[in-house]
Amino acid sequence: MLSKKNKTRIIVAGFVSLYVIIGTITICSVYPKDFLYGEWSIYACLLTFPVSFISFAYRFAEADNLLPVFVIQFIVLIISLFIVDLIVKQFIKKKQ
């Protein structure tokens, strides 16, 4: 059985992963020739800018190749999970 601390960390990791996935889908939908292109991509890009600004810059420079965008977003996901996990651990430690 998972403890409450581990359950909290897993839930937060799920939210961070979802946020980065939304950012990835947004970056892959920025250009008019993209499959999911629409007006929503501008708003989603602004919403997910903290985790997608490097990918956005790459996509702005090189619009055709998407593989580096996925690699960049995977690295951002790992870094984001690490940072948020450290913050959650400190928060749980203070709370006890």
Average pLDDT (11-35) is 91
Element (H, E) at 42: helix 40-47
Contact 79, 20 (CB under 8 A): no
90 Cβ neighbours under 8 A, 6+ residues apart: none
Q: What is the pLDDT of residue 62?
A: 84
Stated pTM of the model: 0.87
Q: CA 12 to CA 16: how far, in whole Å?
A: 6
Confidence of residue 70 (pLDDT cuts 50, 70, 90): very high
* Residue 14 CB-density burial (10 A; 0-12 exposed, 13-18 middle, 19+ buried): exposed
